[in-house]
Structure 1
Amino acid sequence: MSELPADRQPLTASPPLIVLVAGETSGDNLGAKLIHALKERLPNARFAGIAGPRMIAEGCEPWERVESLSVMGLFEIIPHLPRLFRIRRMLIDRLLANPPDVYVGVDAKEFNLRLAPKLKERGIPVVQYVSPQVWAWRQGRVKTIGRAVDLVLCLLPFESKFYDAHQVKAEFVGHPLADQIPLTLDPVEARRALGVPEAGTYIALLPGSRGGEVGRLGPDFAATVAWFKRQRPDIRFISAMASAKVRQSFEHALAAAGVSDRVQLFDGQAQNVMAASDAILLASGTATLEATLVKRPMVVAYRLSWLTSFLLKHLKLFKAPFFAQPNLLAGRQIVPEHFNDEVRADVLGPALLAQLERADRADLVQTFTQIHQTLRRDASARAAEAIVQLISGQRKG
């Protein structure tokens, strides 16, 4: 048997314990890729934490499932606090009883960054993989983050620059989606993969991955389909459902709008659904980055509870010029984004129609391609390397 290369040798005789905590489907995907890259560098490492099916398949022992942390919004979180406190207490007890070599918060930023200070003060190295949008709102948090973690691994280039300006250790590793998604995707091949007719004009609908999100956006997305039924009945609609719960919620919205027969639903297959489309209507979030990498025109919608929205607006907590990731990455508005009261059929319908007909489509695709190339850096490998270096430094210390 040949020996492992020097950079793949176990750090010590005792296997490193790496605890990862993810909070939703996108975090599970990131965590799984990170675990895979870490195993290549630390073949004897053990993994545990809060995990989804992909992380578990990579060998992560699940102390809880990712769905237990999947909550968004300032006030929407309140009913879930007892459960979150219980999980937090469980984690602290387990981590202090058997300290890991490193704790990696995979997204789930509000939860992980509240837990991090207790771990760091006990000497447990802490990494936050995926930065909170501290550059966009509540910028004062950057000092708290700097005290709470040893390293922030950033998926977007402007994030690490923000941390550098505030003397917080951070590294831009790129985005795993940019590594995964090809630079070009053929819509005809995607339509064949979905089993839909190759000819025609398609709009993709992605109302979100969380039940609450789909509850807020689903009725307006369905009403937009009804708008097209009147204005452009030739257009076909396809939709990617993140879970059975999301599918049930969206089916109810489509039925209430009388357009169930106008939308073909697919379980998962978000990338094929996007690639098969001519334009996309979707919820703000990771899906907007995926749509950017798939390089389709889009309209981005975002809706919060009235109280959260009121505070963001009147306390001026939000500092970024945009909330849609393609606009943030381009540094200018290249796709329409609509928030709260603007999320309605008479706004979304015309906006989508304009995206289908935009004359500068080739320029938009070129901008998307430049973003793709900037983010394509073998992110999981870079993130794993940074974590290994941190573990190695701690063990030598």
Structure 2
Amino acid sequence: MPLRVMIIAGESSGELYGALLAKKLKEKWPDVFLLGVGGSKMETEGVELIAGITSAFGIFGAISSVKKLFGTYRKLTEIFKTKRVDVLVLIDFPDFNLFVAKAAKKYGIKVLYYVSPQVWAWRTGRIKKIAERSHIIAAILPFEPEMYEKEGTDCEFVGHPAMEELLQHVSDAKSLKEEFSLNPDAPVLGIFPGSRDGELKRHLPVIVDTIKAIKSAHSEFQFIIAVAPNLHIERYKALFTTLRALEVKFVAERSLDVLAVSDVALMKSGTAAFQAALMGIPLVVFYKMPAIEFRIAKIIIDVSHINLANLIMEREVVKELIQDDATPARISAEILSLYEDSAKRESMTDDFKRLRALFESKNPTDEVVKIIANLTGD
């Protein structure tokens, strides 16, 4: 009887990991039946979608989309009742996935949590809940297994799929600069404003003024913005028009190619910033959120850094400019400091080499496939 695996991813980066996993599962078991929640990448790799990626992110985003989420949850639980699912693979997205995990366990389905929620940063009480509702956890950060093993749950450090994506991706900077109409002899600032609509709303105005400040100091700079999938760009038409007037170039859904042509990067905190570090690209991290969410976050988040490179290295390798510090003046000063100070730049890239060494020998998707095989006895 063919293996049946359900994969649930809640946003773009998680969906990519789900697609990588689906492809490997098909290679190992050509007749495997895949279903789940995701986007076009997962669908292309043979996953039958029950629902698409939701736009619900963060505390208030989830509240506004609760009807959609509840509808998806009902579809999933109906499948658990009426059809066989051998393994449920959950990728991050805890506000939804933890409810699904509880239901799946009720029906005897093996639950594998891949890309565990960042419980080490906030809501640490969830560690016990995740442990109780998962048969095994595939950790992507080296310090996570110890936390879960204290709760008596199996947890394996499999490596980070962001590294896996890098190793599979081939970029030729020279040809890409030609394709993107960039001057090969002038510096390039790669800009990553985020993958969520709310992030664009808060970040794009800051980016506009940051570009103006950098151009004023170094007119030779070129600017390229990585546009994430699943964005409603038309909502920000005026800002995009302003950016085009500043000669900013836009590249959609090719973040690694944008990084490949970047001499320095300005990045929203997240997976792409981690990939930039793994690639050895000097960068500055910034992030702005609604004021009330920021006040709540300050109360419940218990980490010294928000950037993964800094967390893993246990010090500020990458400058983090958050909320009120994320001003055009501060951001442009940090970017220009990296550009003008070769010693500072080399110190950062040396740290990035040490970071990369922790991950480049790992192949997380292969490891997750092995875990699934162990869970099912195949």
TM-score calculated relative to the size of structure 1: 0.89
CA distance in 2, matches of 1:214, 1:246: 10
Q: 2:375 aligns with which of 368, 385, 390?
A: 390
SS at match of 2:184: coil
Is 2:181 the partner of 1:198?
no
Q: 2:318 aligns with which of 323, 328, 335?
A: 335
CA-CA distance at 1:186 after TM superposition: 6.2
1:46-125 → structure 2 map (5 Å cutoff): 46-66=33-53, 69-125=54-110
Shift in CA distance, 184/245, structure 1 to aligned 2, threshold 3 Å: closer
After superposition, the CA RMSD in angstroms is 2.1
Query: 1:131 maps to which residue?
Result: 116
Counterpart residue type for residue 392 of structure 1: G
CA distance in 1, matches of 2:104, 2:270: 29
Is 2:377 the partner of 1:361?
no
CA-CA distance at 1:254 after TM superposition: 4.4
Shift in CA distance, 263/249, structure 1 to aligned 2, threshold 3 Å: farther
TM-score calculated relative to the size of structure 2: 0.93
Counterpart residue type for residue 203 of structure 1: L
8 Å CA contact 1:228, 1:235 repeated in 2: yes
Q: 1:230 aligns with which of 200, 211, 216?
A: 216
Instruction: Render the CA deviation track for 1:146-174: whole Å, top value 9, x for unaligned.
Output: 11111111111112232224433211111
Unaligned runs of 5+ in 2: none
Counterpart residue type for residue 242 of structure 1: A
8 Å CA contact 1:76, 1:305 repeated in 2: no
How many residue pairs align between the two structures? 375
Higher relative contact order (CA 8 A, sep 6+): 1
Question: Percent sequence identity over matched residues?
Answer: 29
CA-CA distance at 1:90 after TM superposition: 1.4
CA-CA distance at 1:383 after TM superposition: 0.9
CA distance in 1, matches of 2:209, 2:234: 17
SS at match of 1:234: coil
SS at match of 1:300: strand
CA-CA distance at 1:285 after TM superposition: 1.1
Counterpart residue type for residue 277 of structure 1: S
Query: 1:372 maps to which residue?
Result: 356
1:198-277 → structure 2 map (5 Å cutoff): 198-243=184-229, 245=231, 247-249=233-235, 251-255=237-241, 260-277=245-262
CA-CA distance at 1:187 after TM superposition: 4.2
Shift in CA distance, 196/206, structure 1 to aligned 2, threshold 3 Å: same
CA distance in 2, matches of 1:287, 1:49: 24
CA distance in 2, matches of 1:326, 1:249: 32
Counterpart residue type for residue 289 of structure 2: L
Is 2:323 the partner of 1:323?
no
Query: 1:180 maps to which residue?
Result: 165
SS at match of 1:245: coil
Q: 1:32 aligns with which of 11, 16, 19?
A: 19
SS at match of 2:259: helix
SS at match of 1:178: helix
CA distance in 2, matches of 1:305, 1:128: 29
SS at match of 1:277: coil
Shift in CA distance, 95/317, structure 1 to aligned 2, threshold 3 Å: same
Shift in CA distance, 304/310, structure 1 to aligned 2, threshold 3 Å: same
8 Å CA contact 2:19, 2:45 repeated in 1: yes
8 Å CA contact 1:175, 1:379 repeated in 2: yes
CA distance in 2, matches of 1:185, 1:95: 42
